[in-house]
Structure 1
């Protein structure tokens, strides 16, 4: 099995944001400082709303992260990470041209016992969402209602004020987190677990389950948010690894409940993905998505996407990639803030460099 797929087996919750970080300082006691950066440019004809003109648009991509570890003793270290991005999908700052925090956290690594972190952490639920999040032109639909109650949440990938435990015990990866409330969120929590079965010559199978609940505050100043109750998200999925091939399947449900007689809104669906790494320089990816969003018994929105992507590695840290998405969806809600046309096919072409 190639190193690229072996790397994919690492717990996403332990490496998110730091997988490609370079150590720029290493002390004799094991303390270190790490730096990560990403530069990229892409073009796409993907546009939003009913006024889509289909013209290609360019987008600059820039990420910068830094952090490290300071040794306490042979078993424990103080750890931290801060990562910022231009055009990040982060709550109220989504898509703007200034640096916005993706991850900012600090904690303690206790070696074999696990680690505890606090801040805007990489959620343990990434173990599940990463099954769908394989494309360079990332467009993950899982847990899209999480930010309705918790406005600083980017789906379930990143949420402020999170106290999280993560641990790996043999082939089992576990995560549990408590989310401290804010002016709209009373509190929240999530749990996730993954077990990797090594089947020898038959490959590896890594099933994962995850759940999150966020509860709304009782006394919210914003009148439009006063009848919110809670958001429940759960997911189950798996990845299968065989030589240079990785297959994934994930199912999820995302329910937003209201107080009184208001109907709940419920998103549910599944995604299938495949990644094949061959000849060291080429990677091909494919996927299918099927989602439905309902308010009560009425279907408001459907998404049925086929995605194909090809990546060519110029170096270990730089790539050219192109993808095409065939969409057959519909948005009956006619929401004025609809981000994208759900019935528009689109392409994506980009160059990315990491250091």
Structure 2
């Protein structure tokens, strides 16, 4: 779904997630405004004996994207997107809010709340019906997910010289841009800043359907987090294959760290593999998908005082899913996450740290398989 539909006028990421459907409400004198939205009726089903993570996950989104033609070679653009959740502990979020200028072959520049620069690569495997996207986690890997206060320069087709060769450079200023939320506000030794910068390059190899990419990001100040990533995807003739490798290093701890849980030179790495195939029918399109996801931390036993902790895996599962597109506006999904975490893995406990004390039954619940059932209406 992530296609470069409006590359001439605005960067691809401006319209990511809105390519399938939107409503044009204004198009006059070089000014264009589109509205788009989505209602995602979603429920997670797990072991009924322990319902941690189970239940309603319904969300609703509303967004706007616009552009204005300043000159033949200069276009202004902006995007705003908001999401409301309706399930347990429901909250709201401004997902995107940025504006910028596009200079045609000379690239584009924008500022605001936007995707971290390494999202270009993590999006290769973030295509499952519901689950996946574990690499898009700013607490583990710098500039991999949405971030506030980012300035981004992007260039498509390398100044018009090489078709499909793209690169981007990004700077993030003191935001939730990476690594530990705990240390983001930490005042030890006067360090309470986490500036970040990164770059990424990817290339659609001729007309083969193959895309390869690599990127790097790091923070400054007290956090000193670094991320490296490389990915490859193949999208042609209804077949989609993708693989991602990512590695991270943090000088100090991770999210919700305490004196027991922080660690010097925290190292993480992950592998993600996805295969999908689209089958067209007279009405609609069915897309089965299969994926394997694994992220781990080096020597997890040294990161926490939890007794009996032995496993290094943060996430480990096989995903089997089906997506059925009735048309561009209506979609149904079923996604089965076969959880391979053990109760002694760090990943079975990490999500519970912010609750303070937690029970053995809560830990066991985070290792359960999960089925997601959803119906999506979008415009």
TM-score range, shorter chain: 0.7 to 0.9
The aligned counterpart of 2:56 is 58
Corresponding residue number in structure 2 for 1:337? 353
| 1:114-153 aligned within 5 A | 114-142=107-135, 144=137, 146-147=138-139
What is the Cα deviation at residue 168 of structure 1?
A: 0.3
Q: 2:272 is paired with a residue of what secondary structure?
A: strand
Q: TM-score, normalised by structure 1?
A: 0.81
Q: 1:283 to 1:9 in 2, by over 3 A?
A: farther
What is the deviation of 1:214? 1.5
Query: Which residue matches 1:164?
Result: 152
What RMSD, in angstroms, separates the aligned Cα atoms of the two structures?
3.1
1:113-171 C-alpha deviation (Å, 9 max, x unpaired): 11100010233322211112111213322153x3489xxx9x62211110100110121
Partners of 2:97 and 2:4 lie apart in 1 by 23
- On the 8 A contact 2:110/2:151 being kept in 1, the answer is yes
Q: How does 1:163-182 map to 2 (within 5 A)?
A: 163-169=151-157, 170-181=163-174
What secondary structure, in the 3-state scheme, does the structure 2 residue paired with 1:112 have?
Answer: helix
Query: In the alignment, is residue 239 of structure 1 matched against residue 233 of structure 2?
Result: yes
The answer to whether structure 1 residue 306 and structure 2 residue 327 are counterparts is: no
For the structure 1 residues 64 and 187, does the alpha-carbon distance in structure 2 shift closer, same or farther, using more than 3 Å as the test? same
Q: Which structure is higher in strand share? A: 1
Identify the match of residue 213 of structure 1 among 218, 222, 230: 218
Asked if 1:195 corresponds to 2:203, the answer is yes
Q: Structure 1 residues 327 and 246, CA, compared in 2 at 3 Å: closer, same or farther?
A: same
Partner in structure 1 of residue 16 of structure 2 = 16
Distance 1:156 1:323 in 2: 23
TM-score w.r.t. structure 2 length? Answer: 0.76
SS at match of 1:127: helix
Partner of 2:98: 105
Q: 2:335 maps to what in 1?
A: 323
SS in 2 for 1:134: coil
Between the aligned partners of 1:269 and 1:124, the Cα distance in structure 2 is 18
- What is the alpha-carbon distance in structure 2 between the residues aligned to residue 74 and residue 7 of structure 1? 20
Partner of 2:70: 72
Residue by residue over 1:188-215, the C-alpha shift from the partner in whole angstroms, topping out at 9 and shown as x without a partner, is 101111011135xxx4210011111112
Indicate the SS of the match to 1:140: coil
- Gaps in structure 2 of 5+ consecutive residues: 158-162, 176-184, 186-191, 254-261, 303-310, 356-362
Partner-residue secondary structure (3-state), 1:13: helix
Could you say what secondary structure the match of 1:176 adopts? strand
Post-superposition shift, 1:7? 6.2
- CA gap of 1:190–1:73, structure 2 versus 1, over 3 A, is same
- Is the contact made by 2:294 and 2:313 (CA closer than 8 Å) also made in structure 1? no
Gaps of 5+ in 1: 89-93, 218-228
Q: CA deviation at 1:297?
A: 7.9
Deviation of 1:67 (Å):
2.9
Which runs of structure 1 show a deviation greater than 4 angstroms over 4 or more consecutive aligned residues? 4-12, 295-299, 338-342
- For these two proteins, the number of residue pairs brought into alignment is 323
Matched, 1:282 2:286: yes
Alignment check: 8 A CA contact 2:212 2:231 kept: yes
